[in-house]
């Protein structure tokens, strides 16, 4: 994670509408400071936080979208705390735990003094109910299984403070899963709801035990997080062991990049998420802080859906890789906070192995491969074979930084070797359907962050995100059983060293088969006033407001 301090150089003007909104939120209009705390943390004040997009669910297993996770991270606790720097585990709601030799049984001892914000106890019964839902799902209520929980079988409540979880096969990633926002603990009453009950407009009814409570919400516009006065069960390594320092966090959805940045540089916002690469210089030049925590998982990548007839030929896939100048994409569109990817996993991810040799830019080799595959240049410069043009479709990934700009540059690069790359920009309904069909979207742009080896399974396994569409939805057949087995092995091996080797085997297999084009290691980039102290991020870059205080 980087944090930069530079000299103050003025502020940008804001539109009157946003100024009124932010003034109503209680911003004091402070212009920052020198970034050095003036003393011990102080209690009080409102943090004005601008979010790029509205959240769409607070159901923890489905909360991976960063606007979702940013809220869930602050209203729920987890059994285990993962240090975002060392990635080591320590007690949180669980005081200690035991794991059997083959990682098929986990026993957690719990604190006895924790309550949800509605006053109900956080005991072994409700913890068991949380993981029974997250591990098994409930299709009747449209509540999905958590992609972080593998091989879940059952729970046993031993007593009020002890719970046992059983697994049908080794589940070595469960301890880390129990530390993620996807395993945020919610009350028994919240667990009774259907998926829509976790959706926009229902935030005040999603009850956690975390340091903040949702006390107000305007759908698609704002969420108010209010400090819980009696919060007293933070992980021991944190400095703050009581209520949050700030009284509330006003989360305001501000889609326009210029408006978010203008609000920050004028002092009307305290923290903003999603500082676009082209805006970093403006934020830094205004003397403000930039944070760029890495997401530590599957890199920002293009998945080549090999079940499509055009991409079923490995030579075509290899040609696409050789035809893309990834370094030019990074240098042109992004900043030093977006390192060039050298594998499907980030270099900061557990199990990473360097496979840069498979992703070299070589347009001459790309042309040779396409020639060998029978694709010849047409009069318009686009290759064709048997009357079909070499046209492929890639989706614009709205949650990913500058996706359209990056894909536009990539399409220009591929045009040089005779490939026509079209970019899908569609409404939500059309988009959702199209990305599940390899004949409509042949190349899928996405990423996923998680600080565990299981992340690679989450991205590519046929019953998880399945970005390669390895499973035929009509027949349920697996197109590449070897890939499926390699992914399953990552999540089902108890020995740590073997598990790392299994992850590296997947990365190598993806590279050798030209299934993935990794672009860059994706951060979450935030801008902040220099008098905002204690801002931190969990292991994949979601903000934590618990220890934030305002040095004013």
Q: Is the pLDDT of residue 257 over 70?
A: yes
pLDDT digits (tens, 9 = 90+) for 269-318: 999 999 999 999 999 999 999 999 999 999 999 999 999 999 999 999 99
Over residues 453-477, the pLDDT tens digits come to 999 999 999 999 999 999 987 788 9
Query: pLDDT, tens digit, for every residue of 411-427?
Result: 999 999 999 999 999 77
37 pLDDT band, cuts 50/70/90, is low
The torsion of the CA quartet 481, 484, 485, 490, rounded to 10 degrees, works out to 170
User: What is the residue-averaged pLDDT of the chain?
Assistant: 92
Q: What is the pTM of this model?
A: 0.88
Q: What is the pLDDT of residue 36?
A: 52
Check pLDDT > 50 for residue 230.
Answer: yes
Phi-psi region of 201 (alpha: psi -120 to 50; beta: other; left: phi over 0): left
Closest to 414 measured CA to CA, from 378, 366, 371? 366
Q: Is the pLDDT score of 341 beyond 90?
A: yes
| SS3 label, residue 432 | helix
pLDDT of 35 = 43
432 pLDDT band (50/70/90 cuts)? confident
Mean pLDDT, range 338-342, rounded to an integer: 98
Rounded CA gap, 281 and 117, in Å?
A: 41
**How would you class 359 by CB atoms within 10 Å of its CB: exposed for 0-12, middle for 13-18, buried for 19 or more?**
buried
Q: In this predicted structure, what is the pLDDT of residue 49?
A: 98
Q: What are phi and psi of 100, to 5 degrees?
A: -75, 175
CA-to-CA separations, 41 to 226, 349, 388, in angstroms, rounded: 18, 33, 66
Does residue 137 carry a pLDDT above 50? Answer: yes
Backbone angles phi, psi at 367, to 5 degrees: -65, -40
E-only strand ranges, 140-265:
152-159, 162-167, 212-218, 222-227, 248-253
As a whole number of angstroms, the distance between CA 347 and CA 358 comes to: 16
How far apart CA 415 and CA 392 sit, in angstroms, is 11
Phi, psi of 186 (to 5 degrees): -125, 165
Reply yes or no on whether the pLDDT at 326 is more than 90.
Answer: yes
For residues 326 and 431, the model is more confident at 326
Each residue of 512-543: pLDDT tens digit? 999 999 999 999 999 999 999 999 999 999 99
C-beta separation of 379 from 33 below 8 A: no
| Secondary structure E strands in 132-247 | 152-159, 162-167, 212-218, 222-227
Q: Helix axis angle, 314-323 relative to 363-372, nearest 10°?
A: 160
Q: pLDDT of 176-229, one tens digit each?
A: 999 999 999 999 999 999 999 999 999 999 999 999 999 999 999 999 999 999
In sequence order, the 6+-apart residues with CB closer than 8 A to the CB of 461 are 484, 487, 488
Pick from 32-36, 49-53, 127-131, 203-207: least confident: 32-36
Look at residue 427 in the predicted model and tell me its pLDDT. Answer: 79
Provide the token pair at 304.
Answer: 């080549």
CA-to-CA separations, 179 to 44, 77, 124, 317, 363, in angstroms, rounded:
28, 9, 17, 37, 44
The pLDDT score that the predictor gives to residue 18 is 39
Report whether pLDDT(266) > 90.
yes
> Is the pLDDT assigned to residue 24 strictly greater than 80?
no
Query: Residues 330-345: what's their mean pLDDT?
Result: 98
- Rounded average pLDDT over 28-42: 54
Q: Distance between CA atoms of 283 and 510, rounded to whole angstroms?
A: 38
Q: Tell me which H or E stretch contains 271.
A: strand 271-273
pLDDT in tens, 138-187: 999 999 999 999 999 999 999 999 999 999 999 999 999 999 999 999 99
Token code pair at residue 226: 């209010």
């Amino acid at each position: 994670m980087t944090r930069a301090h530079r000299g103050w150089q003025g502020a940008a003007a804001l539109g009157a509408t946003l100024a009124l909104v932010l003034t109503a939120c209680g911003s004091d209009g402070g212009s920052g400071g020198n970034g050095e705390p003036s003393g011990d943390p102080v209690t009080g004040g409102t943090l004005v936080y601008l979010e790029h997009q509205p959240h769409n669910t607070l159901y923890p297993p489905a909360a991976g979208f960063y606007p979702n996770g940013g809220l869930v991270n602050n209203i729920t606790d987890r059994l285990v705390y993962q240090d975002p720097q060392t990635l080591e585990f320590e007690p949180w709601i669980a005081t200690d735990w035991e794991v059997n030799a083959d990682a098929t049984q986990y026993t957690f001892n719990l604190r006895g003094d924790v309550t949800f914000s509605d006053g109900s106890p956080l005991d072994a019964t409700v913890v068991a109910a949380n993981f029974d839902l997250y591990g098994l799902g409930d299709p009747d209520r449209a509540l999905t299984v958590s992609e972080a929980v593998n091989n879940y079988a059952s729970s046993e409540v031993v007593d009020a403070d002890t719970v046992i979880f059983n697994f049908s096969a080794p589940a070595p990633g469960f301890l880390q899963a129990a530390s993620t926002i996807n395993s945020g603990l919610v009350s028994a009453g919240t667990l009774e709801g259907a998926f829509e009950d976790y959706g926009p407009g229902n935030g005040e009814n999603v009850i956690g035990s975390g340091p903040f409570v949702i006390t107000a919400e305007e759908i698609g516009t704002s969420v108010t997080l209010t400090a819980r006065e009696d919060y007293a069960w933070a992980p021991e390594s944190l400095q703050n062991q009581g209520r949050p320092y700030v009284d509330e966090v006003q989360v305001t959805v501000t889609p326009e990049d210029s408006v978010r940045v203008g609000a920050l540089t004028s002092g009307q916002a305290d923290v903003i998420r999603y500082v676009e690469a082209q805006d970093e210089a403006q934020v830094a030049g205004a003397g403000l802080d930039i944070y760029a925590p890495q997401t530590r998982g599957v890199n920002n990548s293009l998945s080549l859906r090999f079940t499509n007839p055009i991409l079923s030929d490995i030579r075509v896939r290899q040609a696409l890789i050789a035809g893309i100048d990834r370094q030019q994409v990074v240098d042109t569109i992004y900043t030093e906070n977006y390192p060039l990817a050298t594998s499907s996993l980030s270099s900061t991810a557990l199990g990473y192995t360097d496979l840069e040799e498979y992703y070299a830019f070589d347009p001459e080799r790309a042309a040779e491969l396409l020639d060998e595959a029978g694709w010849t240049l047409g009069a318009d410069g686009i290759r064709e074979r048997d009357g079909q043009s070499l046209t492929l479709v890639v989706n614009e990934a709205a949650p990913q930084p500058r996706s359209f700009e990056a894909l536009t540059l990539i399409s220009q690069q591929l045009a040089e070797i005779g490939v026509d790359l079209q970019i899908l920009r569609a409404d939500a309904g059309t988009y959702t359907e199209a990305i599940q069909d390899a004949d409509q979207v042949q190349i899928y742009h996405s990423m996923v962050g998680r600080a565990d080896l299981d992340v690679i399974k989450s991205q590519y396994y046929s019953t998880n995100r399945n970005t390669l569409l390895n499973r035929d939805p009509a027949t349920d057949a697996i197109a590449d059983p070897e890939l499926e087995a390699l992914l399953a092995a990552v999540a089902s091996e108890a020995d740590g060293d073997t598990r790392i080797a299994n992850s590296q085997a997947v990365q190598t297999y993806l590279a050798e088969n030209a299934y993935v084009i990794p672009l860059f290691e994706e951060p979450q980039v935030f801008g902040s006033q220099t008098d905002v102290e204690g801002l931190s991020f969990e292991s994949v870059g979601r903000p934590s407001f618990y220890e934030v205080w305002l040095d004013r």
